Chains A and B, each alone.
Chain A
């Protein structure tokens, strides 16, 4: 008996060690870039290739520089406006289209759905050229609208919302129909409140996607007034050499809104992520 007990203890211990080691390694791998971002933002230029986490001579000079440089606020504002509008728009359009595809039977429904789904398989890099030509012909280059238009609706979000609306029982909708609500009211005041976890998760995904978008905003704008934050930050690297400490400072400041968005919506996103089975 005693032997068996000891034996089992010995068997479990290594499994635990491996599990914790892997988790720790994963955690470190994820946290390190953020640690270095913060660390670098407090370093003088001569120290940035020194991999020490705590700088020898910490400074807030970089922050003062970035914040006193008026361009930062402009880029931050651009990013905020663009990300917010795109998020609201994508969440609304994705859910109304997802709802329609989920709850109504009409001719061509499957074709529309498959068409939307298939766009998920085309990488952004491939779309950038057609988007650019389109924006050019419509005269949308160098405008907020030019940056935003590809993202006002997303195939992924439409798919996600369609799946979530499957969980809303039809009885709920029919009861409202009998009570005299029109289809738009049913969508807005019955179906939408029932999928708030999915809406929050989608809002976070879309916001982050737009906040960090780089290639498209870079291509569609060449007016520094219209740069988004990621595009603007790279100008710290073209002017003289790569000024890593300034880029990292800007990046550190840029994470603040994403943190706020996440903290506001996190109690929903955790439920939402669990429900979709998508690992955040």
Chain B
């Protein structure tokens, strides 16, 4: 077990800098998820941590010790790759035991450790099989077993679930979370899927174009996004974004409605953000924030999503699943004031 610290970490490939100074402190035993769109530098960060690529500048500390110049094996980390990287020519037992090949311990102890890990992962019956005879989920489990067997102080996962189908992904997500609760090892997990990030993480690190956008607990980044990118990246469907201008009564939206607001803003171009889950039909005397014609209704079961046309701008609202409104109806919408987010249109930064 160990802390992980990144200090002003940068990475360039040739002349292109892809990480522009990453600062992060990961506590011992913490489950941290890096999330961001493809190409934002998540894998690169993980590879630097693992020692597979060389740091351009900055420092990496594992357990308080600078590891910049240590080989991967000397960092006591284990990594699980997206395509599992389990060897087709070896049995499950050999694959799991692979991490112990260079360990100096008696063969009997190694076998015992492999059995232990197989037991934890529920793979005891599969030890003599080859990867070709396993399902996707079982292969993933072998890859995790291979990482576990050495008792590393940090686990690194690079999109380990993205090759699995939706159902299996949900199941493996739970298993990884449970594994973390059982073994308590520090985990750094990379994904482009914000749902995975929200469900797994103690803390989420949201990245874009080689910069960290925000670090926080799942509820923190959901409730208080630091900027428009985070606001739209976290949560599905994405937050509605409406551009407007500051006037005396509040904010005049480009789409027509005025959002009343008392505070003074330092800028006059404001983007108002409202999550679809917070934008609901105005009933029982709630003040109408905006109104528009329903263009499409998407039933999701318990609730439905209504795409509402506000003078040419489409917003998504959440409506009842039992008695959804009808396409073509005019729907008045409301939203609790605390669920309205304000952003500086120019910089994208959140305004309080």
Chain A residues proximal to chain B, CB less than 8 Å: 169, 171-172, 174-181, 190, 193-194
A47 to chain B, nearest CB (A): 54
A172 in contact with B87 (CB, 8 Å):
yes
- B52→A172 contact, CB < 8 A: no
Residues from chain A with a CB closer than 8 A to the CB of B101 are: 179-181
Instruction: Report the nearest A residue to B158, measured CB to CB.
Output: A171
Q: Which residues of A contact B77 (CB under 8 A)?
A: 178
Task: Write out the residue numbers on chain A whose beta carbons fall within 8 Å of the beta carbon of B51.
Answer: 178
B82: chain A residues within 8 A (beta carbon): 171
Determine the chain A residues whose CB is within 8 A of the CB of B36 once the complex forms: none
A172 to B86, CA, bound (A): 7
Given contacts A178-B77, A181-B101, A193-B89, 10 further A-B contacts (CB under 8 A): A171-B83, A175-B79, A176-B98, A177-B72, A178-B50, A178-B79, A179-B102, A180-B72, A194-B87, A194-B88
- Whether A179 pairs with B52 at a CB distance below 8 angstroms is no
State the interface size on chain B (CB cutoff 8 A). 22
For this complex, 22 residue pairs linking A to B, each with C-beta atoms less than 8 Å apart, are A169-B83, A169-B85, A171-B81, A172-B85, A174-B50, A174-B52, A175-B85, A178-B51, A178-B73, A178-B77, A178-B78, A179-B98, A179-B99, A179-B101, A179-B146, A179-B150, A180-B73, A180-B99, A180-B101, A180-B102, A180-B103, A181-B101
Assuming the contacts A171-B81, A171-B83, asked whether A178 and B102 have C-beta atoms less than 8 A apart, the reply is no
Q: Which chain B residue has the least Cβ–Cβ distance from A193?
A: B89
Q: Given A174, A180, A181, which contacts B85 in the complex, CB threshold below 8 Å?
A: A174
Q: Give the chain A neighbours of B83 by CB distance below 8 A.
A: 169, 171
Indicate the member of A171, A181, A194 with the most B CB atoms within 10 Å. Answer: A171
Docked pose: A178 CA to B147 CA in angstroms: 10
Q: Which residues of B lie under 8 Å from residue A178 when comparing CB positions? A: 50-52, 72-73, 77-79
Which residues of A are found within 8 Å of B72, using beta-carbon distances? 177-178, 180
Q: How far is the CB of A188 from chain B (nearest CB, A)?
A: 12
Quick one: closest A residue to B72, CB to CB? A178
A12–chain B nearest beta-carbon distance, Å? 40
Chain A nearest CB: distance from B83 CB in Å? 6
Which residue from chain B places its CB closest to the CB of A192 in the assembled complex? Answer: B89
> Chain B contacts of A190 at CB under 8 A?
87
* Bound: A195/B87 CA distance, A: 12
Say yes or no: A175 contacts B102, CB within 8 Å.
Answer: no
Q: Is the CB of A181 within 8 A of B102?
A: yes
Q: Which of B78, B81, B98, B99 contacts A174 (CB 8 A)?
A: B81
Q: Are B87 and A179 in contact (CB under 8 A)?
A: no
Complex alpha-carbon distance, A130 and B82, angstroms? 52
The one of B52, B88, B89 that contacts A177, using a Cβ cutoff of 8 Å: B52
Complex Cα gap A190–B85 (Å): 11
A180 cross-chain contacts in B, Cβ below 8 A = 72-73, 99, 101-103
* Whole-angstrom CA separation of A81 from B194 in the bound complex: 63
For A190, the closest partner residue in chain B by CB is: B87
Neighbouring A residues of B103 by C-beta, 8 Å = 180
The CA of A194 and the CA of B87, in the complex, are separated in Å by 8
Q: Give the CA-CA distance A177 to B73 in the complex, in Å.
A: 7
**How far is B241's CA from A262's CA once the two chains are assembled, in angstroms?**
69
A-contacting residues, B113-150, CB 8 Å: 146, 150
What's the Cα separation between A14 and B77 when bound, in Å?
68
With a cutoff of 8 Å between Cβ atoms, the chain B residues found around residue A172 in the complex are: 85, 87
User: Residues of B contacting A174 with CB < 8 Å?
Assistant: 50, 52, 79, 81, 85
Most buried by B among A169, A176, A179, A190: A179
Rounded to whole angstroms, the CA-CA distance of A180 and B51 in the bound complex is 12
Minimal beta-carbon separation of A67 from chain B (angstroms): 42
CB-defined interface of B86-97 with A at 8 Å, one 1/0 digit per residue?
Answer: 011100000000
Chain B residue at minimum C-beta to C-beta distance from A194 = B89
Give the chain B neighbours of A171 by CB distance below 8 A. 81-83, 85
| Shortest Cβ distance from residue A4 to the other chain B in the assembled complex, whole angstroms | 46
B142 to chain A, nearest CB (A): 12
Which of A169, A171, A174, A178 lies at the interface centre, i.e. has the most chain B CB atoms within 10 A of its CB?
A178
